[in-house]
Amino acid sequence: RTVYVNGVFCPEDEGKVSIFDRGFLFADAVYEVVSVLDGKLVDFAGHMARLARSLGELAMAAPTSDDELLAIHRRLIAENALEEGAVYLQVTRGPADRDFLFPPQDTKPSLVLFTQAAALRDKPAARTGIRVVTLPDLRWQRRDIKTVQLLYPSMAKTEAKRRGADDAWMVEDGCVTEGSSNNAYIVDAGGKLVTRPLSHAILPGITRIAVLRLAAESGIAIKERPFTVDEALAAKEAFISSASSFVMPVVEIDGQPIADGRPGEITRRLRAIYIEEALKTAI
């Protein structure tokens, strides 16, 4: 694979970042993952807007313009002949002598990008649904910033696998915040789509924006409010959304089936129309 590291396109084993990089020492870094369908980027502008926001919240400089970032994404897709998968982008505050204090503004940010091939459209889990377990949300209180502090989500997903499930739904004050790397939704008894409102408690998913818009356009009623684990267990449907899973049914929570234990009607429809629109609008 060809990767991009600080201005250079090179083979993946030649890409190097300093051991003093603050991304490595302090997780002082933000990232984005843009999915690729038919060699094109899905919702690139949305991901760049969130990147700008993450950088702003941490007083980090933008590494380069969005046009340049688009050109880098496209060159990696071309060089790696990527048809389906994702482009990962990470910006760190850059290398500096180890100190908790942010270094002076002239520190050069590190910019790293690489591609990952993956089947996104045709996933067996989209037909069978995934199983989740609930775990306490032990992350920090600014989950709206897309930082690379991913240790707890990694622990949670590993614990979920250990328990025979696919992912964790994290819980705070009795309500589901989100999945380890995705936003969480249920469809209640009245057919209403329920998902947690944006706040510092969750990441503002780029896929979430599209899902809520497509649901509204399809005449599905939406209520943005926190929901409890008990509500989720009693729901008609449950699902997650993210750039890499699109819309993915959840059919079991803590070993208990949701409704009949099969992917729900609204979930399947939203997945289909999300993919249809993603294919049409990818650049």
Residue 205 CB, shortest distance to ligand PMP, in Å, is: 3
* Catalytic residue list contains 146: yes
Separation of first and last alpha carbons in the chain: 22
Would you count residue 87 as binding ligand PMP (CB under 6 A)?
no
User: Could you say which DSSP state residue 243 is in?
Assistant: T
Among 54, 147, 181, 267, binds ligand PMP (CB under 6 A): 181
Structure-token pair, residue 25: 């020492």
| Catalytic residue (choose from 16, 108, 146, 223) | 146
Q: Residue 32 or residue 231: which is nearer to ligand PMP going by CB? A: 32
Tokens representing residue 249 in the block: 């049914």
Could you give the 3-state DSSP secondary structure of residue 68?
Answer: helix
User: Taking the CB of residue 126, how many other CB atoms lie within 10 A of it?
Assistant: 21
Residue ranges in 224-243 that form contacts with ligand PMP under rule CB under 6 A: 241-243
> Smallest distance, Å, CB 183 to ligand PMP?
5
Q: Which one of 54, 134, 182, 267 is in contact with ligand PMP (CB under 6 A)?
A: 182
Altogether, the residues listed in the chain come to a count of: 283
Q: Are 47 and 34 in contact (CB under 8 A)?
A: yes
C-alpha 164, offset from chain centre: 22
Structure tokens of 103?
Answer: 């270094």
In whole angstroms, what is the distance from residue 230 CA to residue 206 CA? 27
Determine if 172 is a binding residue for ligand PMP (CB under 6 A). no
Q: Which is nearer to ligand PMP, 42 or 165 (CB)?
A: 42
For residues 60 to 79, the per-residue mask of contacts with ligand PMP, x marking binding by CB under 6 A and - elsewhere, is --------------------
- Strand intervals (E) in 28-109: 29-37, 40-41, 85-92
Q: What is the DSSP string of 168-200?
A: EEEEETTEEEEETTBEEEEE-TTS-EEEPPPST
- Count the site residues for ligand PMP by CB under 6 A: 13
- Contact pattern for ligand PMP over residues 26 through 55, marking x by CB under 6 A: -------x----------------------
Binding of residue 247 to ligand PMP (CB under 6 A)? no
Tell the smallest beta-carbon distance from residue 89 to ligand PMP (Å).
Answer: 12
Lookup result for tokens 């590494």: 63
95 touches ligand PMP by CB under 6 A: no
Interacting span for ligand PMP (CB under 6 A) from 111-119, 128-136, 198-206, 225-233: 198-206
Q: Which are the catalytic amino acids? A: 146
Give the residues lining the site for ligand PMP (CB under 6 A).
Answer: 33, 178, 181-183, 203, 205-208, 241-243
